[in-house]
Structure 1
């Protein structure tokens, strides 16, 4: 069994001491990526629940041996100590409490800061699993834990309504948490012990805090709030923590009796702030939020520079031991590796993107997944892109931009990508996008065909067809196996067959310049057409006409036969391998799964099921369905379905009884497909497999691939990790480490190229007026005049002769 699709951004990652590795919490494991190639090289497996923190043990001095040890915490209530160079687990400690956050300040201290204790202590934010009789129980606890003796202290530092994230000072002297509009800071004792008393201060604000950060060397703390403001307290805790200083009479910006010299406020972000971090030298402050822009503040002057158009809200910013490298974690499950201090994006580590939530009016017609036989899935993302993802390798292959549009979180949705479909060999893709009307004016449906020009699934746009079915939306798209043909259906009561106009290529091997044209049009009794599918050999086309199934000859566009009616409108059709059966899934109040015999034109058997997805194995007579469980079953006390909302059923087409079944979670919005497993170097089952693996992807884009025909207990297999060649991990020094390698300079070639360049003024200046970063553009009042002037044709003024 292969699992994938886990989040890379559930918590902050950590760099190794040599900055060549990035440790990323991915579900119940820690994935280790190379920062030079962006590829996964190893993983740490040992936890059974979500890993909530990873802490790399720093090297004691710059000249010491590079350490490859780290601590991890998890919701399974354990803390693990690892050697991630091997990788292997050295120690595992059971805390018996779900851990949401953990810091180890002692690791960050140097001998000059304080006297090191013989024991190692961690501060954990855990959930109190004991029930409380209070009306509003405080389930969050901040506690001290002795890692050396595996002993949790009896004193609870703080109780909160829910477990909070702990932030530690880079020097290890302070740590703090946020509690609504309060910032609580503790000072770590100079000498740690089980009974050591920690002093604390509280800083107040009028708005709710969202994130905080400590300065690496000064007694300075910054926090961001939900309104986009950044507050910076200087000299915090001088009275409480034993370092008295002369304050001004009014302590500018400090509220009430808060222990701080001063408090200043910066404001650029329009909404809540998710990222606050100081640079390693303390000269700059980094901030970011939902607008997808990283802002770099010069701490002394307040001047700003930006890294705009990241395309997704920012979650974490992490500096590395190498001053030329940093990382940004984005909400779209992507980690960007930055070249510092120039903010250039070097590499990206992309997980599977989060699901796209369509408006209520388009949920019925939206299909979120498209699979090919090689284990590649195409799925829609929130920024109008299509992500091409390998399920076998748990890695992004490419990304297709369906609609050019900058990330603007506050804007209303104006475009919806409703359908994405792949051909069986993955060489052709189709997308359908709908532009929503404004005040019932200006709606548009667009059908696009994309062709893959390489083995890396890099798609290029081939054909754009506006309003393929007049004013009606496209309800389904299906590709014909082994032929460059596709069918589209609509509720305007017609279907259309599309063929590529380049007939010199075999199968689906198309040129990038080839176009798709309408080959034939069909309809049946003016009924709305809701679904379509081709048979395995492509000789028969099945089209769902509301509740009836019509069979067509796609070459002559002739009606061959009509099967009986189902109880509700059909939303999915699928031929069962090379057999004479076809399965239909209908929706509505009377949802039904029905199997039809095409030779006898009769129904074989049916179930009353609310089907979410159907998949059939092309090499056998079996198929699988993903069905939603009724609410009565979910709310019952049946232990089999506790916490589950869906079920996968495996059928043999000739038997109404399921061959096997699996209960699943997050089934709504999920998908199913049979994929080939011959691309795996180490097959899951010994011997030659005559059937494929079954892929299930849930509504949150987490997926699993398993052998549905294996009667033995399924054994989970990690995704195959291929280490990058050593040649790709070249270590640069000096000028190259900061700016990269200089390109080879050919004086004669550059001189010839320069002589051939002719600089001409642009004949279309309006195309570049609005280009540039959104936050640096001049106001609309200034742009409007220049824009209108560019549209007018200039003529010489006529001078009247006297």
Structure 2
């Protein structure tokens, strides 16, 4: 059988020519390589350049949660707090309590792990002492902001707690250390079973011998469990270390020197529960002046506070039976006084300055005051809804009451006046939800269009906080879902109602009139399961948003996927979508009601606006993943995955369906006036032109975990998890709508949500997975906080004895002008965002409207309206003689000279010492005739009776009177200075 004849086609001939050309190019490359001396080889594609551009992430809000209580400087003008590896210096002047500086965050020799203790240096008021989990104790000069000294207490361990004490004229640092066991093998130093715990002492001013840091650390006690507290008695007689269920009480020797070997006696007090905190009572004396016995109080994991008395008796018993048992194995159970109210563990306790009360806090968010004399207690509840981690007492001063300061689990701090009981916040810092890192709920992030304020949830997820992103301060809070913020009953955390979505209407007349929120929670079995969602509409009343309309379960038990505002003319619209594919449009309606609640033509009518459902529709029962209005409000765009549908917003008429080359989940509008529709999936971005409905660009390899539409193009971001020992980061790609001109920027923080701040350049706000908020971009105003100078040695203006008696207002040099009334924060931001109204005249004259049309609007924007003052008239009857009572302005207080003050002090001292001033001589009065002849002294004299009725009128010395139509004043008594 003959073989078939294969005729070469035109395509096969073209392929052969291409292969021949490729071989010729390869030979040319080999010849060039041989001539240059390099080894021949096939050509390799150029590697993709790594992104080199990066943006600095400026923190707006960071987690500053710490169980370390604040401490104050010696003069009380500053206070210090610790969070993470940093120490913050604040001003004690309220209400802002401004942060002045930060220690250790930028110092290369600072702490590498969290700070566990913070104390003020006992001999140098300008220094503070910190202890950390990195095993070091550091001394800082907080005025100059520099590190003074580092003491290595444990190279492979942690310094858990420290306290300071004076013994025989030498200051010591007493510390609880947790170190790695010597025979631990390869186990980690964070394994609790791999750590040994001990009590050590370190000289505060000592120097290491032969540069060996271990020579300064002297151990004198061993603990059987992880330590929870260490504290010293006021007279430095006893040292108490709490660990597990035992309180190790050491009696410190009084005859040991600096280099002496300590062998303090120890008594272990045993409890039934694990200790969590403790403190010694202040030193008190009896009425006769005798010293009272020292005692301490502890808190445990079951919420019980115990008062431990009889320490001296326990050591006397130990001394009496020293030969019968070893000193280190003496466990005692003393009779104690129990105080129980807390349902959970006692987080911290503190004594008041006088020692008459004990303050205790815990997870219940309640401050409990225990009166030791009467045994009664008082409560200050509902201090924020979050667990309280620390409590401290700010000592009172002249003119300043004692205060109780508490630190919360969301990083906030509050204070309570000891005498007044007034509760107020310390500063206006941004509060973060402590449960945010472990929650999988949606985290809403929005920008208020009128004021450019950032809107995020507060420490409680049912409350929104409006934040100034440039100054990192809270403008005001808005409680969206009123909730009873109680502590948990069981080990499981309570899941409160949380705000999941926030949207604002467009700016109209300088304000965003409407706000919409969606809040939700999982439904229980009695409610039929599913999700409980509530849609609320809020209206701006000039100061804040107030509730207007609410709809429980607007889409049944389905989860909501989108919430957005749009506008058709002057009427706003809102859209909500659900997972099941249901789309609902809402609009504003007006109801007429009388002031009495019933409509009537005779009664005044008040117009009331409310929101109602306008229409419900869907597209082929496809789920809706994202939705939004076009910038002009004429189109509704729905994302169904591989299909994008366009609808007429006014009539709900279906316009067109766009086929997407990817499974889209996100939606944005980009370009000038939002001309381009951008849809994105986790990998892939597609762009359409709204005018032609044609696909402009497809980027199948572009990752887009987050999508933001810009005026100049598209911004897509993706989170890059850490690889090996590397650090997690975020890569941001900015490109034109057609995908050209792409550039990649690296962020050193792992971002999970993005929002665009209105500005002339790219200015973004991002939320990290830990809940911390950052801002970054091309426009970074106030990129670093301004450095403030701390003058700790500024003289304090003490009040004199005369100022205590008469007040500072009695002296002109102490008078200060009254502070001006501050403008509302949101109103000020709105005025700043309004721009310059006079810029309208910078354009060409032939393009402007007539001046008559611009004048009124221009003057209203440029000049603030002045409030009209009502002038009340007074009717006067001219035929009656009347007396006008007018208020006379008080005389200005004159300046008091130093000579006069000295004379007053001398006279006051003489009066106090009992010196009697000499009596002034009485003037001699001559005899006056009484008008009677001699010898008629006993004649009765008749008094003439005045026929006019006498009226008792109060005399006003400075009140002018009308006499014959003229005003006259009574003469005043001459002043002492006029004589």
The 5-angstrom pairing of residues 196-215 of structure 1 reads 196-197=261-262, 199=264, 200-215=266-281
**Cα shift readout 1:496-545 (whole Å, capped 9, x = no counterpart):** 33344589xxxxxxx99753344554422222222123445555543222
Equivalent residue for 1:488, pick from 560, 576, 580: 576
| CA RMSD between the two structures | 4.4
CA–CA separation in structure 2 for the residues paired with 1:736 and 1:648:
62
Judged with a 3 Å threshold, the aligned counterparts in structure 2 of structure 1 residues 703 and 195 are, in CA distance, closer, same or farther, namely farther
Is the counterpart of residue 662 in structure 1 residue 721 in structure 2? no
- Tell me, in whole angstroms, the C-alpha distance in 2 between the residues paired with 1:37 and 1:512: 40
Distance 1:140 1:593 in 2: 55
Q: Secondary structure of 1:529's partner? A: coil
Paired position in structure 2 for 1:596: 687
State yes or no: 1:9 paired with 2:28.
Answer: no
1:758 aligns to what? none
In the alignment, structure 1 residue 371 sits paired with structure 2 residue 447: yes
Matching residue of 1:685: none
Change (3 A) 1:413 1:261: closer
1:782 counterpart residue number: none
Deviation at 1:242, TM superposition (A): 10
Aligned ranges 1:505-516 → 2 under 5 Å: 514-516=609-611
Instruction: Say yes or no: does 1:304 pair with 2:370.
Output: no
More helix by share: 2
2:88: which partner in 1? 30
- Out of 102, 113, 116, the position equivalent to 1:44 is 102
Using the alignment, how far apart are the partners of 1:573 and 1:584 within structure 2?
5
* Secondary structure at 1:595 match in 2: strand
2:771 corresponds in structure 1 to 701
Aligned-residue offset at 1:595: 3.1
Match of 1:232 among 307, 317, 325: 307
From 339, 355, 360, the counterpart of 1:266: 339
Q: Does the 8 Å contact 1:552/1:560 carry over to 2?
A: yes
Q: CA deviation at 1:676?
A: 5.0
| Equivalent-residue separation in structure 2 for 1:736 and 1:131 (angstroms) | 70
1:188 shift after superposition? 5.3
Q: Distance in 2 between matches of 1:405 and 1:730?
A: 47
Change (3 A) 1:413 1:340: same
Residues 733 and 24 from structure 1, CA distance in 2 versus in 1: closer, same or farther, beyond 3 angstroms?
Answer: farther
1:313 to 387, 392, 413: 387
Does the alignment pair 1:133 with 2:194? Answer: no
Aligned residue number for residue 921 of structure 2: none
SS at match of 1:515: strand
SS at match of 2:118: strand
1:532 and 2:591 aligned:
no
Alignment map for 1:297-696 (pairs within 5 Å): 297-310=370-383, 311-322=385-396, 324-349=402-427, 351-355=429-433, 363=440, 366-372=442-448, 374=452, 376-379=454-457, 381-382=459-460, 384-410=462-488, 412-413=494-495, 415-422=497-504, 427=512, 428-434=514-520, 436-441=522-527, 444-454=532-542, 458-480=544-566, 484-501=572-589, 514-536=609-631, 538=633, 540-565=635-660, 568=663, 570-578=664-672, 580-586=675-681, 591-598=682-689, 599-601=693-695, 604-607=698-701, 609=703, 611=705, 613-616=706-709, 618-627=710-719, 629=721, 634=722, 637=724, 639-641=725-727, 644=728, 647-653=730-736, 654-655=738-739, 659-662=743-746, 670-676=752-758, 690-696=760-766
Report the equivalent of 1:105.
164
- Which deviates further from its counterpart, 464-473 or 153-162? 153-162
Rg larger for: 2
Taking the aligned partners of 1:349 and 1:101, their CA distance within structure 2 comes to 29
CA distance in 2, matches of 1:261, 1:208: 16
Aligned pairs, how many?
666
Question: Given the superposition, is the C-alpha separation of residues 466 and 580 from structure 1 closer, same or farther in structure 2, using an over 3 Å criterion?
Answer: same
Deviation at 1:452, TM superposition (A): 4.2
Distance in 2, matches of 1:357 and 1:462, equals: 30
Q: Deviations over 1:98-121 (max 9, x none)?
A: 765453413xx5xxxx5322x664
Alignment of 1:65-214 (within 5 A): 67-74=125-132, 79-84=137-142, 86=143, 88-89=145-146, 91-93=148-150, 95=152, 100-106=159-165, 109=166, 114-117=167-170, 121=173, 123=175, 125=177, 132-133=184-185, 136-138=193-195, 142-149=199-206, 151=208, 152=213, 153-156=216-219, 164-169=227-232, 171=234, 173=236, 174-187=238-251, 190=254, 193=258, 195-197=260-262, 199=264, 200-214=266-280
Stretches (4+) displaced over 6 A: 159-163, 241-246, 719-723, 729-737
Name 2:784's counterpart in structure 1.
717
**Further displaced range: 279-288 or 27-36:** 27-36
What is the alpha-carbon distance in structure 1 between the residues aligned to residue 649 and residue 734 of structure 2? Answer: 29
Q: Residues of 2 paired with 1:357 and 1:467: CA distance?
A: 26
Distance verdict in 2 for CA 1:414–1:122, change over 3 Å: closer
- Report if aligned partners of 2:635, 2:646 keep a CA contact under 8 Å in 1: yes
Task: Assess, with a 3 A threshold, how the Cα gap between structure 1 residues 358 and 137 changes in structure 2: closer, same or farther.
Answer: closer
| Distance of 2:468 and 2:424 partners within structure 1 | 22
Does the 8 A contact of 1:229 with 1:268 survive in 2?
Answer: yes
Answer whether contact 2:627 2:667 (CA < 8 A) is retained: yes
Conservation of the 8 A alpha-carbon contact between 2:78 and 2:89: no
Structure 1 residues 698-717: Cα deviation after superposition (integer angstroms, max 9, x where no partner): 1222232233699xxx9972
Secondary structure of the residue aligned to 2:726 is: helix
Aligned equivalents of 1:466, 1:735: Cα separation in 2: 61
Gap regions ≥5 residues in structure 2: 1-55, 107-111, 188-192, 284-292, 322-328, 592-605, 809-979
Against the structure 1 CA distance between its residues 157 and 423, is the aligned structure 2 distance closer, same or farther, given a 3 Å change threshold?
Answer: farther
Pair 17,453 (structure 1): closer, same or farther in 2 beyond 3 Å: farther
- Cα 1:292–1:137, aligned 2, differ >3 Å: closer, same or farther? same
Paired residues of 2:581 and 2:619 also in contact (CA < 8 A) = yes
Q: Is the 8 A contact 1:126 1:140 kept in 2?
A: yes
Gaps of 5+ in 1: 61-66, 247-255, 504-510, 678-689, 738-802
Cα deviation, 1:521-575, whole Å, max 9, x if unaligned, reads 442222222212344555554322244222344345444433324654x443222
Normalising by structure 1, report the TM-score: 0.71
Structure 1: distance between partners of 2:577 and 2:243: 54
1:478–1:344 CA distance, 2 compared to 1 (3 A): same
Deviations 1:52-110 (A, max 9, x none): 433234699xxxxxx454333445666554454x453362426367765453413xx5x
Partner residue, 1:285: 358
Residues 64 and 83 of structure 2 are in contact (CA less than 8 Å); yes or no, is this contact kept in structure 1?
yes
- Normalising by structure 2, what TM-score? 0.60
Asked if the contact 1:238/1:259 (under 8 Å) is kept, the reply is no
3-state SS in 2 of match to 1:171 = coil
